[in-house]
């Protein structure tokens, strides 16, 4: 059985699942990598989700985005890229059309321009509204430590609604992720999404992507640790066990697929779409 799974980010309402089911239906291609990329592109183009067009602003009002793609034996990502419509496509080009695995900041933007990606303003009224809400809460100057941020702000303000997709098609695996980060970030912050093993991992035995508080996911190398347990017990149990290691206040979600199983699990509501064929 072939399968494509999308998620709209931990904390995204389940009422969005019908939209993601439609995107999954539309995104299916003849191979796994094409399917996950097109899935993420659809979510990047939908302002509802925190990726591409729907990305949040950082404290300095900039919009810096992360994205990554992975197949067994190869990986590409962009970190803190700005002013492009579909960061996940640039991440694929880093993997397929450059000698590198990761490009960041101005270098990622320059690479995109060299390949013909147009300048694209991703700032929206949604991002402006959220920015104003967050800034209104900041008192006594800029908070520089993430731990202090968590003490001073409701944890729900830190949720970033990363989007992602995993696929198994004709025995091939692929994974892709994209995010505009969280609404409360310093410029230059890097989350889990563009880091292999943290927010994404794909190998010969399956594909895993995560969503949640990036700093916490990075510390636990969540996706690689789930992947490394494949075959030792049912996939759903592996995912639940790893998510249970997080503090109850930290929202975390995972979608994963192996050769004969798949799992969709989160510690709070998470919209998702599935297409089997």
Residues classed as catalytic: 162
| Spatial contact of 222 and 18, defined as CB atoms under 8 Å apart | no
CA distances 207 to 24, 145, 201, 226, Å, are 16, 33, 6, 10
Nearest Cα to 163, choosing from 10, 276, 18?
10
The torsion angle over the Cα atoms of residues 249, 157, 225 and 227, rounded to 10 degrees, is: 120
Interatomic CA distance for residues 223 and 217, integer angstroms: 8
| Spatial contact of 49 and 178, defined as CB atoms under 8 Å apart | no
């Amino acid at each position: 059985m072939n399968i494509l799974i999308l998620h709209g980010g931990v904390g995204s309402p389940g009422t969005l699942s019908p939209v993601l089911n439609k995107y999954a239906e539309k995104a299916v291609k003849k191979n796994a990598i094409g399917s996950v990329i097109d899935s993420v592109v659809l979510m990047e183009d939908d302002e509802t989700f925190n990726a591409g067009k729907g990305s949040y602003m950082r404290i300095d009002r900039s919009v810096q985005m992360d994205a990554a793609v992975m197949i067994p034996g190869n990986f590409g990502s962009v970190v803190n890229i700005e002013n492009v419509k579909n960061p996940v496509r640039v991440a694929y080009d880093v993997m397929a059309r450059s000698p590198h695995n990761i490009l960041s900041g101005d270098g990622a933007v320059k690479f995109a321009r060299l390949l013909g990606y147009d300048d694209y303003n991703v700032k929206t009224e949604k991002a402006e509204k959220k920015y104003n809400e967050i800034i209104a809460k900041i008192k006594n100057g800029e908070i520089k430590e993430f731990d202090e941020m968590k003490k001073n702000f409701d944890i729900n303000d830190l949720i970033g609604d990363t989007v992602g997709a995993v696929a198994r098609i004709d025995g091939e695996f692929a994974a892709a992720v994209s995010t505009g980060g969280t609404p409360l970030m310093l410029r230059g912050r890097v989350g889990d999404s563009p880091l292999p093993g943290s927010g994404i991992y794909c190998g010969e035995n399956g594909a895993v992507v995560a969503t949640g508080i990036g700093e916490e996911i990075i510390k636990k190398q969540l996706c690689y640790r789930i992947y490394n347990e494949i075959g030792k017990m049912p996939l759903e149990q592996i995912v639940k066990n790893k998510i249970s290691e997080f503090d109850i206040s930290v929202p975390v979600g995972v979608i994963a697929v192996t050769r004969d199983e798949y799992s969709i699990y989160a510690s709070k509501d998470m919209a998702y779409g599935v297409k089997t064929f």
